[in-house]
Structure 1
Amino acid sequence: MKIQKIRDLTLIDLGQEKTVVVACDSCGGIGLKEHDVLKVSPFITGKYTARVAIFEIICSGAEVVCLANTICNEMEVTGKKIIAGIEEELEEAGIGKIVLTGSTEENFATFATGFGVTAVGIVENKNLKVNNVKTEALLISIGQPKVGEEVITSVKGDIASYDVLKGLLCYDKVYELVPVGSKGILYEAQQLALNNNMQLILNHNAQIDIQKSAGPSTVVIAAIEECFFQHINIPGNVEVLGRLKVK
C-alpha cells in the first residue's frame, strides 16, 4: 500500500484507481472556559475548526465520507455545542449525511477549550487535484486572510466559500486548490510551487497581505490556466498572486 504525506494531507492509494485522503486540524484556547484566550461560543470553535479539515479534503478533489472529533472537554455543555457547530458546517458544505464520530473528556475537569478534528475522503485518481500542476499557471487567491474575531465579523464574500470551491473543481483548467491557514498565503504558494517542481513568480502589485494568517482557511489559492481565468467570473475577493513557471 502506497502512503504519501503532501502538505497537510495524507494520501493512501487503495488501488483500483482510488485514493483515501486524510486531513486534520486542532484548536485550543477558543471558547467560554476560564482560561480561554478568545471568548466565543464553543459552537464557533467546532464550526470553524471543522471547516479547515473539510476544506482540505474538498480542495483535493475528494468527497468527505467521515469526520471524527476529539473534544478535550466534557460533553455537557461544551461538547454538545462544539458538535452542533460541526454539524452546521457539514450542512453548509452539503455533506450533512456523512458519518460523524468522536470522543469527549469525562474523567477530569478542564479549564480551557480544546478540540481536534480529522476528516477522511475518497477520490478517483483521475479527479485528484494534488501535485497536479503540469504546465505554467496563473496563481490566484480567493478570499481575505482573517483570524480570530475577524472571522466572526466577516461578511459574505470576505472568505472562501464551498460554492466557489465546488464550482472551480468542475474545470480541468483549474489545476490545484490549496487552503491557506495560519502560515499565510506566501508559505502555501511556495509549498505549492515546490511540490509541483515549479518556479513561483510573485505579483508584487497584489493588494493582499501574503504574510498574514488566514485562520480557518479563509483563503484558498488556485493554480489555473491564465486564458481560462480571463473568461470565468469567480465571486468574492480574488487577487492575482503571480505565476508558476516551469523550471
Structure 2
Amino acid sequence: MRDVLFLPLDSEEELVIATDCSGGIGLKEADVVKVPYEIVSYYGARVALMELMSVGAVPIAFVLQNFVGDKEWKRLLKGIDQAFEELHLSIPITGSTESNIPMIQSAVSFTAIGKVSKENKRIGITPPQAKFAVIGEPLVGDEVVKRQERVLPLPLFQRLLTLPGIYEIVPIGSKGIFHELKGLMEINGFAHQEVFCSLPLFASSGPATAVLISYCPEAEGEIKETAGNYFFLINLKN
C-alpha cells in the first residue's frame, strides 16, 4: 500500500495526507547519524511531499512536529523551505514543538496535506504491458550525505511527474525496491514475477532517495534521456 491517506471532500476531489518521520538523526548526544537539522528537515519534507505529489495531489499545507527543541525550529524550517523552493511551492506551514521535556535523541515528524481530483489520481493505473525502472539509488543514513550526488534530485522528480508515458511513480522507502514493486504490482492486479535489477533490491532507500516508475515501453528513450545516469531498468521474468 502507498503511504498516503485519501479522504473524500466531494464528488470530484479528495483530501490527501502523507507523512514521514526521523529519529536518532541530528546533533543530539545519542543521535546515531550526526547531521545539521537543515538536512534532517530537508529530507523529511522531501519524503512527505514526494509521496503526496506522486499520487497526483497538489500540496496545500505542511505540518512540522518538532521534538528537538525550540532553538532548532528555524533550522528545521530552513530545510523545509529548501524543499519547497526546489519544487516551486509556496504553501503555509504550521506545527508544534516539545519544549517541556529535553530529549537525548532527535525526533521530527513531517506531514504534507494536499488535494487531488479523482480523474488525476495516479494509483492503480499501470497497464499489463508496462515496463518498470528505478530513478535514483537506494541510500540511507550516512550514505545520503556521503553520496548525495546519487540521490534523486527534486527538480528531476518534478519533471518525471509531467513526463509523457509514465503511469505511476512510487517513492522508495526503508523496505527497498522489491517491497515497493511488489506493492505496485498487487495494486494493479499483476502476478508475481522474478525481479532483476543492477541495484540492490532489498536495500533501504531511506528518505526516498530513489523512486520506482511504471511506464509505456515506447516512452523509454525519452525517460532515459531525462533521467540520465539515474535510470536503472527493472527486468521481470515469469
State which of 22, 38, 41 in structure 2 corresponds to 1:27. 22
Alignment partner of 2:191: what SS?
strand
Q: Where do residues 1-247 of structure 1 align in structure 2 (5 Å cutoff)?
A: 6-76=1-71, 78-95=72-89, 97-156=90-149, 158-171=150-163, 173-204=165-196, 206-232=197-223, 233-235=225-227, 236-243=229-236
Aligned-pair identity in percent equals 31
- Aligned CA distance change for structure 1 residues 57 and 244 (closer, same or farther; 3 Å): farther
Alignment partner of 1:199: what SS?
coil
Distance 1:141 1:171 in 2: 15
Distance 1:184 1:127 in 2: 27
Q: CA offsets per residue over residues 85-105 of structure 1, 9 Å max, x none?
A: 11111111211x201110001
Query: Counterpart in 2 of 1:3?
Result: none
* 5+ long unaligned stretches in structure 1: 1-5
**TM-score, structure 2 as length reference:** 0.92
- Structure (1/2) with the larger helix percentage: 2
Amino acid at match of 1:211: F
Amino acid at match of 1:139: F
- How many pairs are equivalent? 236
Offset at residue 154 of structure 1 (A): 2.6
* 5+ long unaligned stretches in structure 2: none
Q: Are the counterparts in 2 of residues 64 and 98 from structure 1 also a CA contact under 8 Å?
A: yes
Distance 2:53 2:194 in 1: 26
Q: CA offsets per residue over residues 106-152 of structure 1, 9 Å max, x none?
A: 11222211100111111222221112213321011000111111111
Q: Are the counterparts in 2 of residues 137 and 244 from structure 1 also a CA contact under 8 Å?
A: no
Alignment partner of 1:234: what SS?
helix
